[in-house]
C-alpha cells in the first residue's frame, strides 16, 4: 500500500494532546506511522488544519425506517439529486439521502466512521444491505433492546446473566455493535396504545418499569464489557418538562462503574440531549433546561452524551419511539408512517419543518448549542443532529460555525421572528464561549471514538491507529474574517484518508476506499436456557424462522471487523 | 420587451427536459448563449440549439424577456419551470410540468398542456387555450404544498386531481374537470364552468370550489347550509352552498370553525 506524508499542517489531536502544532503525519499500510521512506507521496498541508477522520456516534442512515422515509418522501428528492461525477454514482435526497450519497457526503466533510443508531434486529439484513451500499465510511449498527420481549422477561426477575447471554447472541446474529435503548418500555406500551412517559410507568403485560429495563441493561452491558456503553434515548422525548424524566434516567447510572478493556469510562450514553432538556408545562411557556442537564452531566464522569442540534431545516423525523411520532403528527398534521416490529420494537416517521419563524423551533435550536457550550469536558459531549431528526448530517459544518463563532450564532439568534421570547427562554445569549479547533476534535473525533471503545483504532493520529485523516482548508493562525469560512472549510475537506486510502481530494470523491462493518463478538458461558428461549420464541411468535433471521456471510457483511470481548471468565 | 423566438427544427426521438426555456434563464444572454443552454433527451445531456432555432433578442432581465415557442413541442417538458417574470407564449401544445413552480410572469399555451402544469405555483398567470391534463396546480408527489398563489385559466377541460393540496391563488376552468378536484385543499379558489363527476373537494379544509354544472356524486362529508346569490366571473346566479369536508380536522379562526366551501349553481 502507498506511503504518504501530510506535511506542515496545523495538527489537532486530543489523543496525543497536540493543539495546533505544525507537524507532519505519516501513513504506511493503512496505519499512521512515525516515519515513512523518501518515496512517500507528499501532501502539502501548509496553512491547513489536520485532524483525525471524524466519528459519527448517532445517525439514522441505514435500514427499513430510513428507506421507508425515502419511499414516502419523494419531495425530499425534489431538486436535490446529484448527477454522476467522476467515480461518484448518482444520488438523491436531502434529509434522507440515498446510501451512496450518504457515504460521499460524510467523506467530503472528513467523517470516516458512522454508527447507525437504531437497528430493528428483525430487519438487520436490510440494515446491512444498506450499510454495504454506503461507500467509504466504516459503519456499525446498534440493535434496539429497550422494548425487547426477552429483555423485559429476563430483567423483570433481574436475570443479568441471561440478559447478557441474549445480548451476546443478538449482537452476533444481527452483526450489531452496541446496546441501544429507545423510549424503554414506551414503544412496547404503544402496542396497547399507551406510552411510558416517566421511568416508573409500568409496561403493560410485562409488568416492568423503564427504570428496571435501563438499570438491567447497563448491568448486562458491563457484565459483558462491551466496547460501547448502553446508549439511550430516554422516555418522554420532546415534551415540555421532559428534563425531569431525563434527570431521573441519568440518576439510574449513579454509582455504576465501567468495566471493559477498551478504555471507555462511561456506563451510559444519552443521545440527542436537546430533545430531553425541555422545561415549561406547555408550548406557550416552553423553555430550556440545558443548564440543569449540563450541571448534572458535568459532575458525573460515568456519562457521555451527544447534542442533537436543530439546524432549522425541513427534515424527516424517524425514530423507534413509535408513540412520539404519533404525538408529533398530531402537532404538525403532516403525513405519518408507523410500523410495529414483532417482539422487538416499532418505528414512526413524520416530516418536520424547523422554521426560524416558530418560537419553539428557535428555542430548540438554542438548546442544542447551549448544551455543547455548557459542556465542561468536550471528551464527553459530542456534536450530532440525530440525523435526520433535528436536521440533516450535512449541516454539521453549519453547527460547527455556530459553536465556534459567537458572532455567527448571535446573528442568527437576534434575527428570529420572536427573537425576544427566544432569547429569554435560554441562556444562549449570555454564553461567550467559542469552541476551539482542539475542542472540536474532542467533540467529533477523540470523544466519540473513546465512548464507542474505538480509541485504539480511530479518532486520533497516534502511530498505530488507522490512517483516518481529514485535512481542511482552514488556517487557525489567520484571523477569522467571516464565520462562513468555517462552514465552507468543513463542508468540503481538502484531503481525506480512510485507512490510508486517499478518498477525497479538494472536496471530490476519488476513491471508495475499503469500507468495513464494525460489530462486536461477545463470548459468554454456554447458556442452554437462553438458547431454548430463543428457539421457543421463534417457534411460537416470530413470523420467520431463526435460520432466516441472522445476518450471515458475504452478502450482508462483505468486509466485517469484529471487536471481541470474552465474558466467559466473569 | 425583447422577444426571443425558438422554433423546433429537429424534434427529439425521446422526450426533452427543457427547464431552461424560461425568461429567467434567457435574460441577458445572446442568441448563441441561449442555444448553448442544457437540455436532456432521455439521459443524454445536450443543448437547446440542437433542437431549436433561436432568434431575436433577450431582455436584460426576466421581466423584459418574452419567449415565443414555435413548432411541435408536444414532447418538451418543463417549459417555464420556476419562471419569476416575463412572458412565454407556446403556440402549440406542450408536455409535463409547464409553468411548474412559477412565481411570476405570464405564460400562454395556445394548444393543450399535459399533467403537472403549474405544480406548486406561487404567483403569475398561466393561460391554457386548449385542455389541461391531470394534477394542474397540484402539489408535487408526496408533498402537501400545492398551488399557493397566482391565477390559472383553462379555456377547455382539465383532468383529474386538479388543485390537489391547493393553499391559495385562483383557478378558472371553462370546461369540465375529472375526479378528485381540490382534494386536501387548504385555501384558494377553483371555478369550474362545466361539470365535475365525483370526489369533489374530498378532505378539503379551507378554500372555495364553485361548480356551474353537475356533480354526479357528492362527497358525504359535505353539509348543505343555504342558497346564496353570487357574482362569479361577471355572472350572477343562485348557488347551493355546502361546507366540508366534515370528516376532516378543521382549524378555528376568531372562535369560528373554518370550513371548505363548495357552491353549486342551481
Chain A from 65 to 94: CB within 8 A of any B CB: 72-76, 78
Rounded to two decimals, what is the model's pTM? 0.95
Residues of B whose CB is below 8 A from A76: 142
Helix (H, G, I), strand (E, B) or coil at A14: coil
Q: Give ipTM to 2 decimals.
A: 0.91
Q: Could you count the other beta carbons within 10 Å of the beta carbon of residue B124?
A: 24
Distance from CA of A295 to the nearest CA of B (A): 42
Q: What is the pLDDT along chain A (570 residues), one digit of tens a residue?
A: 689 999 999 999 999 999 999 999 999 999 999 999 999 999 999 999 999 999 999 999 999 999 999 999 999 999 999 989 999 999 999 999 999 999 999 999 999 999 999 999 999 999 999 999 999 999 999 999 999 999 999 999 999 999 999 999 999 999 999 999 999 999 999 999 999 999 999 999 999 999 999 999 999 999 999 999 999 999 999 999 999 999 999 999 999 999 999 999 999 999 999 999 999 999 999 999 999 999 999 999 999 999 999 999 999 999 999 999 999 999 999 999 999 999 999 999 999 999 999 999 999 999 999 999 999 999 999 999 999 999 999 999 999 999 999 999 999 999 999 999 999 999 999 999 999 999 999 999 999 999 999 999 999 999 999 999 999 999 999 999 999 999 999 999 999 999 999 999 999 999 999 999 999 999 999 999 999 999 999 999 999 999 999 999 999 999 999 999 999 987
- Count the Cβ atoms, other than its own, within 10 Å of residue A548: 10
Within its chain, how far is the Cα of A330 from the centroid? 27
List pLDDT tens digits, range A114-144.
999 999 999 999 999 999 999 999 999 999 9
Å between A88 CA and nearest CA of chain B: 17
Could you tell me if A330 lies within 8 Å of chain B, comparing CB atoms?
A: no
Helix (H, G, I), strand (E, B) or coil at A341: strand
Domains in chain A (CATH in brackets) are 59-404+439-451 (3.20.20)
Q: Which residue matches cell numbers 406547555?
A: A282
Say whether A75 and B141 touch across the interface (CB within 8 A). Answer: yes
- Looking at the DSSP assignment, which residues form a beta bridge with residue B132? B113
Distance of alpha carbon B75 from alpha carbon B92, whole angstroms: 11
* β-strands A345-353, A314-319 pairing: antiparallel
C-alpha of A62 from chain center = 12
CB contact under 8 Å between B141 and A74, yes or no, is yes
Cis amide prior to B231 (ω within 30 degrees): no
Shortest alpha-carbon distance between residue B123 and chain A (Å): 20
- Using CA atoms, how far residue A72 sits from A75, A336, A471, in Å, is 9, 9, 37
Name residues whose C-beta falls within 8 Å of residue B158's C-beta, 6 or more positions apart in sequence: B131, B132, B133, B136, B173, B175, B176, B177, B178
* A-chain residues near B144 (CB < 8 A): 334-335
Element (H, E) at A565: strand A560-566
Interface test with A, best of B143, B205, B248 (most A CBs within 10 A): B143
> Which residues of B fall within a CB distance of 8 Å from A334?
144
Is A107 exposed, middle or buried, given 0-12, 13-18 or 19+ CB atoms closer than 10 A? buried
- Quote the DSSP letter at residue A247: H
| Cβ density class A335-368: b for 16+ within 10 Å, e for less | ebbbbebebbbbbbbbbbebebebbbbbbbbbbb
Overall residue count recorded for chain B in this entry: 266
Residues 6+ apart with CB under 8 A from B26: B4, B20, B34, B58, B62, B65, B67
Contact A322, A187 (CB under 8 A): yes
In order, the DSSP letters of A380-441 are SEE---TTTTSS-GGGHHHHHHHHH-HHHHHHHHTTSTTHHHHHHTSSGGG------HHHHH
Chain A / chain B CB contacts < 8 angstroms? 17
Find the residue in A nearest to B82 (Cα). Answer: A79
pLDDT digits (tens, 9 = 90+) for A440-486: 999 999 999 999 999 999 999 999 999 999 999 999 999 999 999 99
With CA atoms as reference, the chain A residue closest to B45 would be: A83
Nearest to A333 among B139, B141, B249 (CB): B249
Amino acid at each position: 500500500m502507498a506511503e504518504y506524508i501530510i506535511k506542515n499542517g496545523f495538527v489537532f489531536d486530543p489523543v496525543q494532546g497536540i493543539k495546533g502544532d505544525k507537524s507532519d503525519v505519516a501513513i504506511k499500510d493503512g496505519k499512521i506511522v512515525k516515519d515513512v521512506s523518501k518515496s512517500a507521496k507528499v501532501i502539502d498541508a501548509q496553512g491547513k488544519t489536520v485532524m483525525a477522520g471524524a466519528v459519527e456516534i448517532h445517525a439514522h442512515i441505514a435500514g427499513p425506517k430510513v428507506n421507508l422515509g425515502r419511499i414516502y418522501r419523494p419531495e425530499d428528492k425534489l431538486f436535490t439529486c446529484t448527477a454522476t461525477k467522476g467515480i461518484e454514482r448518482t444520488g438523491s435526497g436531502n434529509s434522507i439521502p440515498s446510501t451512496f450519497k450518504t457515504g460521499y457526503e460524510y467523506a467530503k466533510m472528513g467523517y470516516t466512521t458512522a454508527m447507525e443508531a437504531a437497528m430493528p434486529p428483525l430487519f438487520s439484513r436490510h440494515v446491512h444491505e444498506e450499510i454495504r451500499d454506503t461507500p467509504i465510511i466504516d459503519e456499525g449498527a446498534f440493535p434496539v433492546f429497550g422494548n425487547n420481549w426477552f429483555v423485559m422477561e429476563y430483567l423483570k426477575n433481574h436475570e443479568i446473566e441471561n440478559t447478557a447471554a441474549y445480548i451476546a447472541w443478538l449482537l452476533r446474529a444481527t452483526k450489531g455493535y452496541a446496546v441501544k435503548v429507545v423510549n424503554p418500555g414506551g414503544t412496547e406500551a404503544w402496542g396497547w396504545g399507551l406510552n411510558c412517559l416517566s421511568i416508573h410507568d409500568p409496561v403493560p403485560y410485562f409488568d416492568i418499569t423503564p427504570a428496571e429495563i435501563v438499570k438491567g441493561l447497563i448491568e448486562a452491558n458491563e457484565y459483558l464489557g462491551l466496547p460501547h456503553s448502553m446508549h439511550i434515548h430516554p422516555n418522554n422525548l420532546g415534551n415540555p418538562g421532559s428534563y425531569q424524566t431525563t434527570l431521573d434516567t441519568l440518576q439510574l447510572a449513579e454509582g455504576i462503574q465501567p468495566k471493559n478493556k477498551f478504555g471507555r469510562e462511561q456506563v451510559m450514553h444519552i443521545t440527542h440531549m436537546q430533545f430531553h432538556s425541555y422545561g415549561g408545562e406547555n408550548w406557550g411557556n416552553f423553555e430550556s433546561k440545558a443548564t440543569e442537564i449540563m450541571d448534572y452531566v458535568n459532575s458525573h464522569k460515568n456519562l457521555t452524551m451527544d447534542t442533537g442540534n436543530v439546524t432549522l431545516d425541513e427534515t424527516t423525523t424517524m425514530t423507534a419511539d413509535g408513540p412520539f411520532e404519533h404525538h408529533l403528527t398530531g402537532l404538525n398534521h403532516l403525513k405519518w408512517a408507523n410500523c410495529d416490529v414483532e417482539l422487538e420494537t416499532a418505528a414512526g416517521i413524520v416530516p418536520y419543518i424547523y422554521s426560524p419563524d416558530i418560537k419553539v423551533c428557535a428555542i430548540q435550536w438554542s438548546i442544542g448549542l447551549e448544551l455543547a457550550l455548557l459542556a465542561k469536558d468536550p471528551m464527553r459531549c459530542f456534536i450530532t443532529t440525530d440525523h435526520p431528526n433535528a436536521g440533516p448530517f450535512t449541516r454539521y459544518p453549519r453547527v460547527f460555525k455556530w459553536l465556534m463563532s459567537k458572532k455567527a450564532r448571535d446573528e442568527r439568534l437576534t434575527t428570529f421572528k420572536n427573537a425576544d421570547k427566544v432569547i429569554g427562554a435560554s441562556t444562549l445569549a449570555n454564553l461567550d464561549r467559542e469552541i476551539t479547533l482542539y475542542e472540536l476534535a474532542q467533540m467529533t473525533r477523540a470523544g466519540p471514538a473513546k465512548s464507542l471503545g474505538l480509541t485504539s483504532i480511530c479518532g486520533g493520529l497516534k502511530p498505530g491507529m488507522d490512517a483516518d485523516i481529514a485535512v481542511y482548508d482552514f488556517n487557525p493562525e489567520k484571523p477569522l474574517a467571516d464565520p462562513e469560512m468555517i462552514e465552507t472549510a468543513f463542508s468540503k475537506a481538502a484531503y481525506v484518508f480512510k485507512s490510508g486510502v486517499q478518498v477525497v481530494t479538494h472536496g471530490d470523491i476519488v476513491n471508495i476506499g475499503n469500507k468495513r462493518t464494525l460489530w462486536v463478538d461477545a463470548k459468554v458461558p454456554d447458556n442452554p436456557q437462553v438458547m431454548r428461549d430463543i428457539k421457543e420464541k421463534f417457534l411460537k411468535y416470530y413470523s420467520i424462522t431463526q435460520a432466516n433471521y441472522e445476518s450471515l456471510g458475504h452478502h450482508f457483511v462483505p468486509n466485517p471487523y469484529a471487536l471481541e470481548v470474552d465474558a466467559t471468565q466473569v | 420587451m425583447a422577444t426571443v423566438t425558438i422554433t423546433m427544427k429537429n424534434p427529439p426521438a425521446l422526450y426533452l427536459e427543457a427547464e431552461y426555456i424560461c425568461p429567467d434563464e434567457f435574460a441577458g444572454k445572446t442568441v448563441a448563449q441561449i442555444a448553448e443552454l442544457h437540455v436532456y433527451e432521455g439521459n443524454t445531456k445536450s443543448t437547446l440549439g440542437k433542437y431549436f432555432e433561436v432568434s431575436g433578442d433577450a431582455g436584460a432581465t426576466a421581466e423584459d424577456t418574452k419567449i415565443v415557442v414555435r413548432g411541435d413541442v408536444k414532447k418538451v417538458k418543463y417549459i417555464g419551470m420556476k419562471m419569476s417574470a416575463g412572458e412565454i407564449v407556446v403556440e402549440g401544445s406542450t408536455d409535463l410540468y409547464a409553468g411548474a413552480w412559477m412565481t411570476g410572469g405570464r405564460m400562454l399555451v395556445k394548444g393543450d398542456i399535459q399533467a403537472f402544469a403549474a405544480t406548486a405555483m406561487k404567483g403569475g398567470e398561466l393561460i391554457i387555450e386548449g385542455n389541461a391534463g391531470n394534477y394542474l396546480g397540484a402539489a408535487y408527489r408526496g408533498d402537501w404544498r400545492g398551488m399557493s398563489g397566482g391565477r390559472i385559466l383553462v379555456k377547455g377541460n382539465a383532468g383529474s386531481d386538479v388543485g390537489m393540496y391547493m393553499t391559495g391563488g385562483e383557478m378558472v376552468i371553462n370546461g369540465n374537470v375529472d375526479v378528485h378536484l381540490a382534494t386536501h385543499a387548504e385555501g384558494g379558489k377553483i371555478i369550474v364552468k362545466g361539470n365535475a363527476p365525483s370526489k369533489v373537494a374530498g378532505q378539503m379544509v379551507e378554500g372555495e370550489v364553485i361548480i356551474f354544472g353537475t356533480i354526479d356524486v357528492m362527497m358525504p362529508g359535505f353539509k348543505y347550509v343555504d342558497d346564496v346569490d353570487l357574482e362569479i366571473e361577471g355572472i350572477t346566479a343562485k348557488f347551493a352552498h355546502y361546507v366540508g369536508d366534515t370528516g376532516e380536522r378543521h382549524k378555528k379562526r376568531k372562535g369560528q370553525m373554518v370550513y371548505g366551501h363548495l357552491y353549486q349553481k342551481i
